[in-house]
Structure 1
């Protein structure tokens, strides 16, 4: 019997990687739903190839163009995520949620009830709304797999391991494009330099977050929530080769190290198939293994990582504050309205404001609260940064 699949964000890098995996095994899958924001041409191309009958296109302009296509007369095309009930008559086997940004939170939470298994590659959804996600996962008995390379590696390493046995979890970071650049020259770098990641091909936003190391702050928050452990048991190590994705130090004297190619195909493939399914990958690179070159974080080079020292242990709306401020500051940098070094300076200055700090003790109650706060903070950051 074919596995029934839904992909939220099928035209992004994660979605395309999953699409390419399914293409190699097309006879064993039936795609029930694909979604995109603007890239309707790629979406229609995917739909035609897999004979998908349900599409969601959230961008109104792209939606209006898509429904004029001849192919659209044969299928259902919706303009928002309020139609899951019409699309899913019963649970699908697997859902990939890879919509970027806060806008991915609501559909991620709402599609859980229609999925036996959900793989989530949306940082913001986990960071801001994990309590809401976890509640739905338990309610509908939906299996969850994290898809970020670091979190998938931790998840894989911790299979059948008692949480109390964990002494320390190390997340690795490449250090980005400016790892060895003189600190005095960082203030003059432009966004074209900042998006040139040495190991991964990513979008502009996440590439900037990698350069500033904010992505590692976010990934630490994700790890804390997903694996329900204290920040004290989480640490970041610089690893320029991006070959080791997680190190788990256990109290029984053993340490697990998870290695895989610098390709998102590995975690995505293993989230889709059982561990018994094989994949072609590169041979173990002894040259890299003999020169792993781990380093501790340099706080002068990556001042945003200091944020981890002020985070509350309990989930709160403060995580939404972090995401919202960073989103807006990165946007301002990409628009050449602030300098690269302003991202960290302005972030730390804003987090000292009592109007922002008060959210550390405010519990997350619902999706609407997160979305409204996100919009409010972005507007305020725009005013503060003028």
Structure 2
């Protein structure tokens, strides 16, 4: 039986993974699952899958969970240092890291030592701490699989390639809810409008990032780091149906495309069974979409946040942490109706151009604490500075 760990098991990625395992329980033993506040769902998952180790990071939820499982044969912990005691010198077969936000970086780094394979669905970890992750992956000979549909698609297309003969990589974006909205109406976009993604069912934060196209900026940064590329090798194309996820053009003239249903279960399933020949139910080939991919270049007037890519340097730096933290706070302000939708892009571009933050383009991350402290500082500044 494969031993599994799931960080963030109550979220959409973690829940999807558990639904896959549910249909093949004889081949998997879930050793540890975690959540922040949703202790009731976590305990139900633990009972169903007979999981003996739980981590709940929110203190109040942890206390409530301890009372709820009292007398049951389940170990419950309040932080991620505990998994070092749980696993000691034994290795897990597969870990899914699906914790959202900066709090996912440290447990992602620490679990690498204890797992043969790690699938990462935490953008902040890859964007802000990839050089730290890569160092641990190499040190402990752990296999890494990206879970985001675009990056999994690229990984699938080039995974068997022995040489770096890649010329260009294209990531696709649906264009979100405002792909056709007249520009004169952008000033009146509400949170309700922005949360209505045409293709994907996602959380509030990522839905807003998709509407501004910030999510795609993040994905370009991730792809650059994961596959050791230059930004000039990456381009975003609008594809309204979200059926085509990535295109790779090779130096030998070949062009490969990867498509799959608009369903995150597919990359999650394939990350879990990356070495096995297992089947998943999916829809037949959609010829109608294939005959009309509607690929378009990004309109930078409609999506000005794309200009952030021009600010980035080729080295891994702390400037990426500045961008992530600033965007997090601006999206939060929009969700609270404190700023307009168009202000997210305007203020982010202006804030990241401040001289105070330009120096971070030359500073490479050295540890998690440094990244977390900078993120907190940026959060403070953006909430106290007029931009």
Q: What TM-score range do you get, normalising by the shorter chain?
A: over 0.9
Q: Secondary structure at the match of 1:168?
A: strand
1:327 equivalent in alignment to 2:328: yes
Write out aligned runs for 1:1-386 (5 A).
2-70=1-69, 73-89=72-88, 90-273=90-273, 274-385=275-386
Count of matched residue positions in the alignment of Structure 1 and Structure 2 = 385
In the alignment, the residues of structure 2 paired with residue 105 and residue 68 of structure 1 have an alpha-carbon distance, to the nearest angstrom, of 29
Q: Secondary structure at the match of 1:10?
A: coil
In the alignment, the residues of structure 1 paired with residue 65 and residue 305 of structure 2 have an alpha-carbon distance, to the nearest angstrom, of 42
Alpha-carbon distance, 1:87 to partner: 1.2
In the alignment, the residues of structure 1 paired with residue 77 and residue 193 of structure 2 have an alpha-carbon distance, to the nearest angstrom, of 38
CA contact (8 A) 1:67 1:73 kept: no
Instruction: After superposing the two structures, state which structure 1 stretch, 79-88 or 157-166, moved more.
Output: 157-166
TM-score, scaled to structure 1: 0.98
In the alignment, the residues of structure 2 paired with residue 115 and residue 49 of structure 1 have an alpha-carbon distance, to the nearest angstrom, of 23
In the alignment, the residues of structure 2 paired with residue 23 and residue 164 of structure 1 have an alpha-carbon distance, to the nearest angstrom, of 38
Instruction: After superposing the two structures, state which structure 1 stretch, 311-320 or 349-358, moved more.
Output: 349-358
Q: Secondary structure at the match of 1:135?
A: helix
In the alignment, the residues of structure 1 paired with residue 143 and residue 386 of structure 2 have an alpha-carbon distance, to the nearest angstrom, of 42
In the alignment, the residues of structure 2 paired with residue 135 and residue 215 of structure 1 have an alpha-carbon distance, to the nearest angstrom, of 25
Alpha-carbon distance, 1:17 to partner: 0.2
Alpha-carbon distance, 1:73 to partner: 3.6
Alpha-carbon distance, 1:160 to partner: 2.2
Q: Secondary structure at the match of 1:19?
A: helix
After superposition, the C-alpha distances for 1:53-103 in whole angstroms (9 at most, x for unaligned) are: 100000111111100114564211001111112111411000000001111
Q: Secondary structure at the match of 1:117?
A: strand
Instruction: After superposing the two structures, state which structure 1 stretch, 54-63 or 163-172, moved more.
Output: 163-172
- Unmatched runs of 5 consecutive residues or more in structure 2: none
CA contact (8 A) 1:6 1:92 kept: yes
In the alignment, the residues of structure 1 paired with residue 213 and residue 242 of structure 2 have an alpha-carbon distance, to the nearest angstrom, of 14
Alpha-carbon distance, 1:214 to partner: 0.3
In the alignment, the residues of structure 2 paired with residue 147 and residue 72 of structure 1 have an alpha-carbon distance, to the nearest angstrom, of 37
Distance 1:71 1:281, change over 3 A: farther
In the alignment, the residues of structure 2 paired with residue 312 and residue 64 of structure 1 have an alpha-carbon distance, to the nearest angstrom, of 45
Q: Secondary structure at the match of 2:55?
A: strand
Alpha-carbon distance, 1:279 to partner: 1.2
Q: Secondary structure at the match of 1:67?
A: helix
Structure 1 residue ranges (4+ consecutive) displaced by more than 4 angstroms after TM superposition: none
Distance 1:161 1:184, change over 3 A: same
Alpha-carbon distance, 1:357 to partner: 1.0
Alpha-carbon distance, 1:280 to partner: 1.3
In the alignment, the residues of structure 2 paired with residue 160 and residue 82 of structure 1 have an alpha-carbon distance, to the nearest angstrom, of 36
In the alignment, the residues of structure 2 paired with residue 275 and residue 235 of structure 1 have an alpha-carbon distance, to the nearest angstrom, of 32
- Unmatched runs of 5 consecutive residues or more in structure 1: none
Q: CA RMSD in A?
A: 1.0
Q: Secondary structure at the match of 2:187?
A: helix
Distance 1:16 1:341, change over 3 A: same
In the alignment, the residues of structure 1 paired with residue 201 and residue 294 of structure 2 have an alpha-carbon distance, to the nearest angstrom, of 22
In the alignment, the residues of structure 2 paired with residue 72 and residue 306 of structure 1 have an alpha-carbon distance, to the nearest angstrom, of 56
Instruction: After superposing the two structures, state which structure 1 stretch, 64-73 or 361-370, moved more.
Output: 64-73
Distance 1:184 1:72, change over 3 A: farther
